[in-house]
Amino acid sequence: MKFRRLRAATSSLVAHVCLIAWPASLVASTKSIEGLTPIAKITLGKTADWVLIDGDAVWVGSTGPFAVHRIDSRRNRLVASVKLPGEPCAGLARGFGSLWIPMCTAKPSLAKVDLKTNQLTAVFDIGPAAAEGGVAVGAGSVWLIVDNAGSLARIDPATGTVVDTFHLPAGAYNPLFFRRALWVSQAEGAELIGVDPASGKTIAQLPTGPNPRFLSASAESVWTLNQGDGTVTQVDIRNKSTRNVALNTPGHGGDIKAYDGLVWTTMPMTPLSLIDARTAKLLCQWQGPGGDSLNVGAGAIWLTDYHAGTVARIAIEDALEDCRRPGENRLHNER
């Protein structure tokens, strides 16, 4: 678990927002999340957490019941709910025709759901080292950190067997497969670790803000949401450079998604923040109730309200239009 806590935007519209001339003093616009009217809001359970998009399917985890739910983004309708034997607590991933769900069962485990039939097909006896961890798919395998010592397990997707284990710095929990490498955030430190999936050798250890947890990637950058100080770090994996963006959103929970030249984050009480990926500057921030996990696709931001147990579909174009409108301004420090 996380700690208690159809309209398509055109590429020209996204490019227009990215090219807004924001002043060098980094004045960002502060909005109310209640000013964004969702296209749809779907109730899933007592809580709603973790969002994955697979074509027209949007998958969201819940407690009360323990389940993952499939939403048809064409109709904004819940079409399937797959019951799980425990709480989905450490992210979602897709690959090999399946949805992968780490669970905080009595002994941590890994669920496998068929993406075509919406059926639970296996529960493997291996699971996440911690709640708010993650799972990744790539290089023919499923990847999961399985203990606090930083053991990265390479898992056979057919049998659930651990075929290899790589050893990373302790406190690394969240893997992401990007540009033929694994990138793992060190939530109990301040690093992004690059790993060669063939040899298990560490190919990079790059500084981030404190306690980086959730991460996303696009173009040549990996972005980490840092729970320790409420910053986001952009890591350019080509030249191994980093830069930080202050969001003033420290604390547990949250999520991040880099998408089409923009970076979106969510935290409880600051459900949405928007960063220009080109300049690494905060453009807008929406405050108020809700938030905690998100994803972006099908022309929309899919944003959960953890405690309300809902997921809302917010049109990207609506958020960008609201960002353009005048709002309360406040200063942020870039670095």
Q: Indicate the helix (H) or strand (E) that contains 317.
A: helix 316-324
Among 97, 203, 90, smallest CA distance to 158 is for 97
Q: pLDDT tens per residue, the chain (335 residues)? A: 444 333 333 343 444 444 444 444 446 889 999 999 999 999 999 999 999 999 999 999 999 999 999 999 999 999 999 999 999 999 999 999 999 999 999 999 999 999 999 999 999 999 999 999 999 999 999 999 999 999 999 999 999 999 999 999 999 999 999 999 999 999 999 999 999 999 999 999 999 999 999 999 999 999 999 999 999 999 999 999 999 999 999 999 999 999 999 999 999 999 999 999 999 999 999 999 999 999 999 999 999 999 999 999 999 999 999 999 876 554 343 33
Can you tell me the distance from the alpha carbon of 258 to that of 247, in angstroms, rounded to the nearest whole number? Answer: 15
Going by their DSSP bridges, the two strands 231-236 and 241-246 should be labelled as antiparallel
Listed by start position, the domains of the chain span 11-331
Q: How far apart are the first and last CA of the chain?
A: 31
Residues 6+ apart with CB under 8 A from 320: 9, 13, 14, 17
Task: Write out the two tokens for 172.
Answer: 């690394």
* Distance, CA of 43 to CA of 305 (rounded, Å): 10
Task: Output the pLDDT for position 6.
Answer: 34
> What is the per-residue pLDDT for 327?
65
pLDDT at 27: 61
pLDDT for residue 28: 83
Sheet holding 67-72, edge to edge: 47-54, 57-63, 67-72, 77-83
Residue-level pLDDT at 271: 98
The residues near 38 (Cβ < 8 Å, ≥ 6 apart) are 312, 313, 314
Q: Are 160 and 125 in contact (CB under 8 A)?
A: yes
d(CA 127, CA 171): 16
Strand partners, 24: none
- What is the CATH architecture of 11-331? 7 Propeller (2.130)
Q: What angle do helix axes 316-324 and 11-18 make, rounded to 10 degrees? A: 30
Task: Give every CB contact of residue 66 below 8 A, 6+ residues apart in sequence.
Answer: 83, 84, 85, 86, 87, 88, 103
